[in-house]
A and B are shown apart, each in its own frame.
Chain A
Amino acid sequence: MSQLKLVGKPAQRYDAKDKALGITRYGADFTIPGMLYARVLRSKYPSAKILSIDTREAERLPGVKAVITARDVPYNERASNVVGQTTEIGAIQATQPVLAKDRVRFLGEPVALIAAESLEIAERAMNLIKIDYEELPAVFEPLEAMKPSSPPVHKGGNVLARWKIVKGDIEEGFKQADVITENTYYTQFQEHAYMELEGGVAWLSDDGVINIRLTTQVIEHYRDVAKILGIPESKIRVIGTFIGGGFGGKEDVTVETFLALLTWKTKKPVKLVYTREESILAHSKRHPFVMRYKTGAKKNGELAALKAELISDAGAYAYLSAWVLLYATVHASGPYDIPNVRVSSKTVYTNNIFTSAMRCFGGTQVCFAYESQMDELAHKLGMDPLKFREINYIKREKRLPVGQLIKSEVALPETSSRAWEALGGPKKSKKGKRVGRGFASGMQSYGRLTMLHDSSRAWVGIEMDASLVIRTGVPDLGGGQGSSLVQIASEVLGIPGKDISIHITDSSLTPLAGTTTATRQLYMSGNAVLKASRNLREIILNKASRMFNVPGEELDLVDKKVVVKKGEREMPLVDIVKQLAADGIRRNSFAMFNAPFSEALNSEMEQYKRVFPDFTFGTQAAEVEVDEETGKVRVTRLVSSYDVGKVINRNSLEGQMEGGAIMGMGYALLEDIKPAKGVIQAQDLAQYLIPTSLDVPEVKTVILESGTGLGPFGAKGIGEPSMTPTAAAIANAIYDATGVRFTSLPITPEKIVTALKKG
């Protein structure tokens, strides 16, 4: 394709206007006449036996239309560790009850469902359900849970999954090292804290289909719902809404199974929306990790060996813990070329809230560890941290310890020097304040694990008036997923965005495009739309070439016209479309895009070839001002610099980079659910602190385009990578300011003051 006309510009998103006008309808914004209101009764204990459940009184309450417990669920078991994929990988089997039957394993586990004529009645009924519990021993620390003497959360021991990567000879590597640094790093539970609460409505339509309209990152959960109800998958339809933020927290099943069960039982429309407190109890959290790291380097600055042992808290059920751990394991040595590496990891069941997907998916925890290690080594060697890293950054066509070849550009030397430059010169410290600057580099995969055989599909069709329709089952998280697809089709077909309609996120009416997770939609569905659009372009140009009697290469589609490139002739696109119709030639195209496929992994991953499609690389730099006496940190400057391959929508890209860095800042300094014996103490948004407008610096973005990504026009993904190195960059800046290396997140004022006091 010649010069790009639209791609790369800060295009106005097609969804922005409705959102600005308040017209967009989210999960909670739909009502259906005659609908019932649902509530979920949840366990009050982190570990207990259910001796009995008595729902009789609740059922007798006027206005109550259904009470559902485990024994009413046709198939009360679901696999939580596979999300929206079709490939059987089998590696780890883990199931859980939809509703707890005789045992609860975390505080907040669903036990019963109620549907009633009003929310008030449903709430009253909830209080009338009597459950006899017998508390059981519980375990809350993964290190403790690994001991054979600990109470088992599930049959078969508490270690859910383990992975191992070995490259070279680790002992020999450390012998060659002149300096060695060793530390243990700890990270906390992080809450997604999207603004929109989980919710939706369900109804039964005349054709016997259960329709569920909700806010979700994964419409493919219709398959789980069908299995639980024991009805064909074709009888469940999931319609996604625009999502008010997800960040991985709306990747697992949320309200869809509950809505379907209640609609199936009552045959009536049902609405279920969580409260904020319930949302915090009901959905996953980011995994806390304990990470023991040892890294060695030679005097000349070359890294010699890296050893990492990772343990993560899986919480009470498997969900995506095994895969998050796999990501962490593969990313554990960072974007560095290290001859000798050994990474071993375990994820462990506890009676804490379950942990699962969250932006970076295991990538930011290990980045905090390895970038702290790199910073420490540079200081030990007396080298400039920038220079030290430059010596060791992995290069294109080199292999990661897991064996995967890096096929795209690794622009880290540029992203780092540009980030550092953009941070500006050191600021003078005011009295009582210590100013410090630091940076961190990160790598983060985009696209799902290649063993999942991921694919996306899109349909693109031109109407008789030359306007365009796109259909693809992409859930739009708010990152502009749908909008970028419009831009891509517009670029290829020369049809202005205002004449394009896109239909997304409907499991029955839009071709399945896979999950909006894993930084995969621009890459996967972008390519599917690109492929479909190019096919359609070819159909149009073939016809035009005969009509003009010039070769197709000499034709272009511009502004709803076919033009001969030399510029002497043009024809309205409408005329070509009419001719196609008259000749009985299709005016649409359906395309499927497949990611690279690989075999299922074993837990010993030596010499594995490919785990991910590709990686995004970038650097963040931070300047902090630490109050010596209170320990309060103010991030005064934050720079985010990435090689994004190719910019598609500049506004959306900057939005991801700014928002990702601020979420990383919250992770570094503020956010923690603080569980105490399985009870989340930060139970609402007054206690769980995310940054406000008065807490944030204005993030500066530096964007590089190597054009080497696997996405459309060479784009890479940015959703998750935009947050990966923030915590590490801030921790390194705090080290620069205070001389103290903080090894646990969040770095609270209290931790800082305590450390400074020790001197």
Chain B
Amino acid sequence: MKKCTLHMIVNGEKVSIEVSPNSTLLDVLRDKLNLMEVKEGCGQGDCGACTVILDGKAVNSCLTLAMQAEGKEVTTLSGLNKSRKIHPLQKSFISHGAIQCGFCTPGMIMSAKALLDKNPHPTREEIKVAISGNLCRCTGYKKIVEAIEAVARGKEEKGGEDVTA
């Protein structure tokens, strides 16, 4: 197994690292780049906990070989806080009580982000479709859908407070 060199942009920063060809993007984000907010819930695309945005599309990072990100842009949850501000989706998840155990939250927010980037004013049904690859066992989804809808309706103020506040 020959090691490969991977170049990608992760959360706005250029990354160049050596990886095993059989590493998934999930492995590399967690083990090499310490982006622990990318969760592993099943390892084979059945739960959505590892969702990241790859060149604008929400994907399961466990179903992506790391080398497939060569030359691409990857955004993980912490990438939403580069400006040190809380993202409106994060704020809305907090205020709507959409977070219980929080394990599905990073993936869920990334799916929601990818949806709103393409379709800023989705219907409730479109929101449910967009997160249908992200399993949640705690909430019954209601408050998650409400949290996303509030952002889409502009009910959540845009400029978030500082993440360290």
Contact = CB atoms under 8 A, between A and B. Distances in A.
Q: Do chains A and B touch in the complex (CB under 8 A)?
A: yes
Interface of A: 10, 12-13, 15-26, 28-29, 31, 192-197, 242-245, 247, 275-276, 477-480, 651-652, 654-655, 658-663, 684-686, 690, 692-694, 696, 698-699
A412 B135 CA distance: 33
B15 interface: no
Return the 4 tightest CB-CB contacts between A and B, nearest first.
A22-B37, A478-B101, A19-B102, A651-B97
B46 A13 contact: no
* Interface size range of chain B in the complex: 35 or more
B95 interface: yes
Given A24-B102, A276-B41, A684-B44, A195 B94 contact: no
Contacts of B81: 21
Given A16-B99, A29-B36, A661 B105 contact: no
A195 B142 contact: no
Nearest to B127: A693
Contacts of A479: 100, 138
B43 A193 contact: no
A29 B38 CA distance: 10
Contact of A276 (B42, B91, B128, B163): B42
A394 to B, nearest CB: 29
Given A655-B139, A658-B140, A20 B103 contact: no
B141 A662 contact: yes
B46 A195 contact: no
B47 A659 contact: no
A21 B138 CA distance: 18
Contacts of A24: 102
A20 B93 contact: yes
Nearest to B76: A22
Given A29-B36, A196-B39, A651-B97, A693 B47 contact: no
B101 A195 contact: yes
B89 to A, nearest CB: 8
B75 to A, nearest CB: 12
B59 interface: no
B97 A655 contact: yes
Main secondary structure of the interface of B (DSSP, over half): loop
Given A21-B81, A659-B138, A195 B132 contact: no
B94 A194 contact: no
B2 interface: no
A661 B140 CA distance: 8
7 contacts: A16-B94, A25-B36, A244-B39, A244-B102, A658-B142, A659-B137, A692-B133
Contacts of B77: 21-22
A197 to B, nearest CB: 7
Contacts of B53: none
Interface of B: 31, 36-37, 39-44, 46-47, 49, 76-78, 81, 86, 90-91, 93-97, 99-106, 109, 128-129, 131-145, 163
Given A22-B36, A22-B37, A480 B103 contact: no
Contacts of B128: 693-694
Contacts of B31: 31
A24 B78 CA distance: 12
A196 B107 CA distance: 13
A279 to B, nearest CB: 9
B1 to A, nearest CB: 10
Contacts of A243: 101
Contacts of B93: 16, 20
Contact of B163 (A21, A31, A197): A21
A269 B99 CA distance: 32
A699 B31 CA distance: 39
Given A275-B43, A276-B42, A659 B140 contact: yes
Given A19-B99, A22-B78, A699 B39 contact: no
Contact of A13 (B47, B99, B163): B99
B132 A20 contact: no
Given A21-B78, A26-B39, A276-B41, A658 B101 contact: no
A661 B137 CA distance: 11
Contacts of A19: 99, 102, 105
A659 B40 contact: no
Nearest to A701: B142
B94 A244 contact: no
A72 to B, nearest CB: 29
B45 to A, nearest CB: 8
A193 B136 CA distance: 10
A159 B137 CA distance: 34
Contacts of A692: 132-133, 135
Contacts of B139: 655, 658-659, 662
Given A16-B94, A195-B47, A275-B43, A478 B104 contact: no
Given A195-B136, A694-B132, A477 B94 contact: no
B101 A20 contact: no
Given A195-B49, A685-B135, A12 B43 contact: no
A292 B143 CA distance: 39
Contacts of B144: 693
Given A22-B37, A22-B78, A652-B97, A690 B137 contact: yes
Given A658-B139, A685-B46, A699-B142, A194 B101 contact: yes
Contacts of A17: 86, 90, 94
B103 A245 contact: yes
A698 B39 CA distance: 26
A119 to B, nearest CB: 10
A684 B43 CA distance: 10
Contacts of A194: 101, 103, 137
A734 to B, nearest CB: 20
Contacts of B109: 20
B37 A23 contact: yes
